[in-house]
Amino acid sequence: MKNNNSTQIISESILEYVKSESQFALMINGEWGSGKSYYFKEVLSNVLKGFTQKKIIYTSANGISSFNEILEQIITKKYYSNKKSIQKGLNLTYQLSKLALKESDRYRIIGNMLDVIPKIFNSKDIDGFKNDIIIIDDIERINFNKFPIDDFFGVINKIFTEHDSISVILICDEAQLKVKLGKDDLIFKYEIIKEKSILRTIKFKQDILDLLPSIINESNFNRDKNKYILENLDFIKELITFTNEKNLRTIKFFFNNLATFTNLIDPQKFERISKYIILFNFICSKAFKDGKLDKFDDKIKDFSNEIEFIGMRPIFSTSGRIDVENGIDETLPYREIAIKFSNYFKMFFSISDYIKTGYLDATFLHSEIDKYLPQLNHLDEWNIKLDKLNNFRNLSIPEFKDTVKSIFIFLQQNKYDIDSILKFANKYFFFLEDNVKLNNFESDEFKTFICNCLNKAIENEIYTSIFPEERLEKYKHKFADAKEILNCYMDIYKMKINSYIENSILTLKVKLIDNLKEFNQSDFWILFSKIEIQEIDGFLTKYLGDSLFAGMFNLKLNNEWNFIKQSENKIDPMENVFQFITKLKEIDIEKDSPIPYYVEDLNRILNNKRNFEIN
């Protein structure tokens, strides 16, 4: 890692201190989460290489109530890592344990401790630490009620630094330390003992942005995703800078969460939606670490539609603040981030749920991504070119020619969906009507080319129009090729929609038979959408109304759903769609189940479409 100016100064100061063999300790003072621990655990050892053979013994004073707890950590780190010295470490630990038992009575006074510890550590033991750098982190987290701060410094001074010049580095957030001490007399006592024990105090400041490449490498991104994260590094830096986020723990938490999500996403999909995932994950990760995720989650669900709207089209008042009447509630935490980066703001409830609970519903995540992807098509280079053609009056002649050439190349590369191909065909005939040919196609060649493109596009098509007759409507009577292309499109459309409906209804049948109470909104949406499409009324009769399904459904009614075994309770395959609703309404489903509401919606649609009444 390349050090910035601040960490470079810290590194040089530590090297100078280690070489000087001072009789005092060195203190590093920095805010919580500023990266102090990370620097000393991950960076310092590399800094020391080539300058000294000393090894780092890193310990934490978090929660300690006696000095022997720190000594045990030091002994463990020094001796237990070497098989030859394990026995020595065990013996020293045993002696310290005996001392700890006596501390409650006659060895409670610090002076008595200093009398006993030399009997445990002989001069040879102490000399062994001269090749080490002892680092004690989290000084402000000591239990000062049981282990006063002046006692702590006194032991450090007497055992390690004053007589034997052993390198000791103490790390703390001094502001928090003084808050914990509280009383002025204790703070004054701390200042006095610090002056006697500390060579100098160095303020730790580190630019989090310089650490990002190292953090990314440590965050377990799959190899195929790592490059996309690095490509978005400037965007991530912009988020961190805008929010003035300085807490390294929050940043690492964000990257660890990001690795969890991205490793599950197809690389091509992630490339397109990466900034949206990064932004929402950053907001939720920060909210969680700030203790505000529940508030954020509640608000964002209440105003999800408004936020989605802001994500597509920011609305600002003359004062520069968001217009609350037309937008988002002002009390929403982190609203300023959503507004600033509104071009990349999308809701991912699977992400917020994971950060809050630790459980990731991968299926839900994929469904959210698939919902958003079609909305991002306008960002692709090939769709940008198509938009330029639609606004051709703003193009110069060279730009126009280049745009048309690029579109044909993208068509050959199968970049466009069916709808876009038809839009281009529509524009082609628009120009042809004015005797302007976009390509040197001979008779029938353009029709063949477009039909081939449509057939290729069907393989990757997810969403198709349900009103195909609107395509090329203006030109189908004027140009034979336009009519042929429309017929080609209709054939492809029917094949696609039939396949999709067949798979959907077959899946629906299984769920209806196996577990009706697991029916959800999307299942009913399938029923709604298929009923509303005129061409496929027969599918409902075929797949919901066949004899096998009717028999299985009747069996469930009798055996598992506790219906009275009477013939009038059975459903007739010929009227299955309507009788299905009737029976569904009669089933004793829990009151809080959403199914009754969906049944009413389905009932309404059927009534409107067939003028059928269910009493």
206-237 per-position pLDDT tens digit: 777 877 887 888 787 887 777 888 888 888 99
Instruction: Yes or no: say if 426 and 472 are a contact pair by the CB < 8 Å rule.
Output: yes
The alpha carbon torsion through 92, 97, 102, 107 (nearest 10 deg) reads: 50
CA nearest to 410, candidates 389, 391, 436: 389
Report helix, strand or coil for 561.
coil
Terminal Cα distance for the chain, rounded: 75
Report the distance separating Cα 190 and Cα 213, nearest Å.
Answer: 39
CATH architecture observed for domain 5-206: 3-Layer(aba) Sandwich (3.40)
Residue by residue, DSSP assigns 361-429 as -HHHHHHHHHHHGGGGGGGSHHHHHHHHHHTGGGS-HHHHHHHHHHHHHHHHTT-S-HHHHHHHHHHHH
Return the pLDDT at 567.
44
pLDDT in tens, 112-138: 444 555 555 555 555 567 788 888 888
User: Do the bridges between strand 198-203 and strand 132-137 make them parallel or antiparallel, or are there none, so unpaired?
Assistant: unpaired
User: pLDDT tens, 316-339?
Assistant: 222 333 333 334 444 444 677 877
CA distance 439 to 429: 12
- Partners of residue 383 on adjacent β-strands: none
Instruction: Quote the pLDDT of residue 278.
Output: 93
CA dihedral 290, 295, 301, 303 (to 10 degrees): -100
Residue 355, classified by CB atoms within 10 Å of its CB into exposed (0-12), middle (13-18) or buried (19+), is buried
Tell me the C-alpha to C-alpha distance, in Å, between residue 478 and each of 34, 435, 440, 474.
71, 13, 20, 8
Write down the residue that tokens 């009620």 correspond to. Answer: 145
Domain ranges within the chain, ordered by starting residue: 5-206, 209-377, 380-496, 515-610
- Measuring CA to CA, which residue among 553, 593, 561 is closest to residue 577? 553
Can you point out the beta strands (E) in 93-157?
132-137
How confident is the chain (615 residues) per 10-residue block, as mean pLDDT?
58 85 88 77 72 80 82 75 51 49 43 50 61 88 86 83 85 89 86 88 79 81 80 89 86 92 88 89 89 64 43 30 38 66 81 88 89 73 83 86 92 86 89 86 85 80 49 82 88 72 66 60 56 47 55 59 46 54 59 55 55 41
Q: Are residues 18 and 54 in contact, defined by beta-carbon separation less than 8 angstroms?
A: yes
